Amino acid sequence: MFLKLFTVFFFFFNLLFQSQETTSQSTNFTYNDGFNPPTDLSLQGITTVTPNGLLKLTNYTVQKTGHAFYTKPIRFKDSPNGTVYSFSTTFVFAIHSQIPILSGHGIAFVVAPNPSLPYATASQYIGLFNITNNGNDTNQVFAVELDTIRSTEFNDTDDNHVGIDINSLKSERTSLAGWWDEKGQFKNLTLISRKPMQVWVDYDGRTHKIDVTMAPFNEDKPRRPLVSVVRDLSSVIRQDMFVGFSSATGSVLSEHFILGWSFRVNGEAPPLALSRLPKLPRFEPKRISDFFKIGMPLISLFLIFCFIFLICFLVRRRRKFAEEMDEWEKEFGKNRFRFKDLYYATKGFKEKDLLGTGGFGSVYKGVMPGTKLEIAVKRVSHESRQGMKEFVAEIVSIGRMSHRNLVPLLGYCRRRGELLLVYDFMPNGSLDKYLYNTPEVTLNWKQRIKVILGVASGLFYLHEEWEQVVIHRDVKASNVLLDGELNGRLGDFGLARLYDHGSDPQTTHVVGTLGYLAPEHTRTGRATTATDVFAFGAFLLEVTCGRRPIEIKHETDETFLLVEWVFALWNKGNILDAKDPNMGYECDEKEVEMVLKLGLLCSHPDPRARPSMRQVLQYLRGDAKLPDLSPSDFSGSGMILGLQDGFSELGMSYSSSVFKGFTGGSIADSLLSGGR
C-alpha cells in the first residue's frame, strides 16, 4: 500500500517535473503581419524587408547570397548528448524572376549552429555551403531546399524540386515540387511561378521522421507529405541552434520572398493567418511596366486633351447654332427653320454665296441638305425683341400667301440679335441689276411692262386681296426679283414693319428708301397703302427711264430728282424723252407715255390724289383709260405748288449734309422723322 502510494506520488512528481521541463524548453514564434519591423531577425547579404513587410531574401543582384535568421537560439535538446525534440515550421514563399522560365537558385529553410553562414557561397550552393565544406559532417546544418536549378554535381534530377539536406547539397531525398490532393492525386507546382505557396516541415523526435509538405496558397495542409525521410537528427542538431532562411542568386535576376513564417518546438507550428500576410508586388513584364510608366501619363494627357477639345467643340458648336425660342413661337413651329440646317445649306454663310447686301441685311444662296431645294436666306440683324411676336406672326401669315408675283417665304429662324428669313431662290436676281449704270443685260419694253404688271398685281394682292391689308413699305426695283420666266416678284414685304413698330408717332421711326418715301410718310411716320402707291410711282418711273429716283453727283453735290425731271419734260411737251434709251425701239410709245404719266400721278404729293392699286392695275391692263392728264391739270387743281413744294422739301432734305454722298439704298430714317 505504502509502496503503491509512493509509486503514484513518484509518478505525479515525475509528470510535474517533466511538464515543467517541457514548458521551459518549448519555443514558438509567428510572423503573420509581415516582417516589418524585423524584430528578432538578423538580415545578412542582400536580404531586406520591403516597406509592406515582405521578407525579401534576394533582389535583382547577380551572384549574391541573402540570409535571415531568428536571432534567439532555439533549444532543441534537454542536454548536449540528448535526443532532438520534435519541431515544426511552416512558411509561405514566392519566387519572381525577370525571365519567366529561368530563375536564381532557390530558397532553403535552415537550422544552423550560428545565426549566420559567413563562408557560404551563392549560385548552386544556395548560401548554405561552399565548395570545400559541402558534405562535411562538421557543418551541422539541416536544411530543406526549394531548388530551381538542376545542378548535376549534386545529382539533381530536375530544376523544380524540394529536397531534404543534411550537411550537404546532395539531398537525402528529393521530390518534384507539387502536392497530393484529398483524392490522392499528385499535382505539379512550379516554384518559379511567381505565385505564393506554403511549405510545412515537421520532425518527429520519437520516430525521427522528417516530413516536408507543400501546397498552393490558401490550400489546407495536404495529409500526405511530399518528401519524407527517417533520420535521427541528434548528431546534426546541437542543443541550441538557430533557424532561418537562406537564398542565392546566380546569373538570372530574381527575387525570393517569404510572406509569413511560424515555428514551434514540441508541437505543430502555429497556423498562419493567410489573409493577414503582406501582399506581393504586381509582377508585370518589365517592358509592359515601362510602357505603362511612360505610356499611361501620355495616354491620360492625350485623353484629357481630347476631352477638353471635345467640350470646347461642343460649347462652340452649341453657341454657334444657338437659337432663340419663346413660348409664343410654338404655334409657328412648322415655319421655323433650324439654324444648323441653314448654316449647312449656305455652307456657313460664305462670302462666295452672298447674293447681295440690301435693305436690312445680307442675302445668301443655299441648298437645303435634305430636299435639295434652292433657297435664299436673308440675315436681318435685330437687337430688340420688341414687336417680334407680331412680326413673326405676320411673317408666318405672309408665308401662307401664295401669289405668282410674290417671292414665296418659306419660313424663318430666330437667333440672338438676328432674324433669318428663308425664301425661294429666284434665279434671275433683282430687277435693279438690269436697269442702272449701263447693265450687261437690259430688258426690252415688253419685258418691262410684264414686270410692272406683275409687281402691280402683287401689290394689289397685298392691299386688297389678302385677308388683311398688308403694306409692303419698301417697294423699289431692288426688291423686285425675277424668276425663271422673268416674272417680277415682290420680295421683302413687311420687313420694314420690324423697324416701324409702335403707333405712337413720337417714337415712330420711318423706314424705307429715300426717293420712294411719300412726303406725308416722312411727316407723319405712318405707312399706308397710299405710301406704297407713291413708292410704286417711283418704281414705274425708274423702270421706264432706267434711272434711280434720286441721283447725287459727287463732284457738284447736285441732286437729280427723277420725278422732277420727268415732270419738267412733260411740261415742255416731250415726256417720251424720259424713256430709257436702252430698251430698244420696239416699244409702244402710247403705253410708255401712259406709264410715265401714271408714275407721276402715283407720285402726287397729296395722297388723296393718288390712285389705288386697283385703279393702277386697271390702267395698266387697259381696262380703264388713264384720265387725260396734262401738267396744267396739276396746277389747275392748285396742286402744282404743293407738288413742287413737296419735291423741293424733299430735295432740301436730300441735299442736306447728312446725306452727302448718298446715292440711294435703305435707311432707318430717324433723322427725317425727327424733323417731321
Ligand X SMILES: *[C@@H]1O[C@H](CO)[C@@H](O)[C@H](O)[C@H]1NC(C)=O
Site for ligand X, rule CB under 6 A? 26, 28, 46, 48, 59-61, 81, 119, 130-133, 136, 138, 155, 170, 188
* Closest to ligand X by CB, 170 or 238: 170
Question: Which of residues 138 and 438 has its CB atom nearest to ligand X in the complex?
Answer: 138
Residues in the chain: 676
> Least distance to ligand X from the beta carbon of 141, Å?
10
CB of 315 to ligand X, least distance (A): 51
* Residue in the shown chain whose Cβ atom is closest to ligand X: 119
The residue (of 13 and 119) whose beta carbon lies closer to ligand X is: 119
369 upstream amide cis, omega within 30 of 0? no
- Rounded least distance, CB 136 to ligand X, Å: 4
- Contact by Cβ (8 Å): 261, 90: yes
Question: 132 or 556, CB closer to ligand X?
Answer: 132
b/e string for 178-213 if b means 16 or more Cβ within 10 A? bbbeeeeeeeebbbbbbebbbbbbbbebeebebbbb
SS3 (DSSP) at 485: coil
CB 484 within 8 A of CB 432: no
Select 81 or 438, whichever has its Cβ closest to ligand X: 81
> Burial letters for 38-65: b for 16+ Cβ neighbours within 10 Å, e otherwise?
beebebbbbbbbbeebbbbbbbeeeebb
Q: Quick one: 447 exposed, middle or buried, by C-beta within 10 A (0-12, 13-18, 19+)?
A: middle
Rg (CA), the chain: 56
Closest CA to 458 of 575, 296, 617, 271: 617
Q: Binding residue per annotation — 597? A: no
**In this structure, what C-alpha cell is assigned to residue 138?**
562538421
63: three-class secondary structure by DSSP: coil
- Least separation in angstroms between residue 320's CB and ligand X is 58
* Closest distance to ligand X from the beta carbon of 81 (Å): 4
Residue 133 CA to residue 66 CA, distance in Å, equals: 19
End-to-end CA distance of the chain: 152
Tally Cβ neighbours within 10 Å of residue 294.
Answer: 10
3 state SS of 507: helix
Beta bridge pairs of residue 240: 75
Q: Which is nearer to ligand X, 155 or 251 (CB)?
A: 155
Nearer to ligand X, 266 or 447 (CB): 266
Which listed residue (159, 424, 474, 532) is catalytic?
A: 474
Number of other CB atoms surrounding residue 676 within 10 Å: 13
Rounded CA separation 68/460 (Å): 111
Nearer to ligand X by Cβ, of 117 and 380: the residue is: 117
Helix (H, G, I), strand (E, B) or coil at 331: helix
For every residue of 406-420, which 3-state class applies, written as one string?
ECCEEEEEEECCEEE
Shortest reach from residue 223's CB to ligand X, in Å: 20
562-571 and 639-655 are packed helices; what angle lies between their axes, rounded to 10 degrees?
140
**Least gap, CB of 29 to ligand X (angstroms):** 7
Give the side-chain half-sphere CA count within 13 A for 370: 5
Cβ within 8 Å of residue 551, ≥6 positions away: 559, 560, 562, 663, 664
Q: What is the DSSP string of 542-589?
A: HHHH-S-SEEE-TTT--EEEHHHHHHHHHHTT-GGGGS-GGG-S---H
Distance, CA of 77 to CA of 86 (rounded, Å): 9
Nearer to ligand X, 170 or 209 (CB): 170
| Beta carbon of residue 137, minimum distance to ligand X (angstroms, whole number) | 7
Least distance CB 147 / ligand X (angstroms)? 14
Cα(74)–Cα(562) distance, integer angstroms: 128
In whole angstroms, how close is the CB of 6 to ligand X at the nearest point? 29
CA atoms within 13 A of residue 295's CA, in its CB half-sphere: 6
CA distances from 24 to 76, 264, 366, 371 (A): 12, 13, 103, 101
Does 78 participate in catalysis according to the annotation? no
Q: Chain-centre distance of CA 475, in angstroms? A: 50
Name the CA dihedral angle for 42, 46, 51, 52, rounded to a multiple of 10 degrees: -80
CA-to-CA distance for 204 and 504, rounded, in angstroms? 118
For ligand X, which is the closer residue by CB, 150 or 501?
150
Which residue positions form the known binding site for ATP? 378
Which residues carry out catalysis? 474
Per the annotation, binding residues are 378
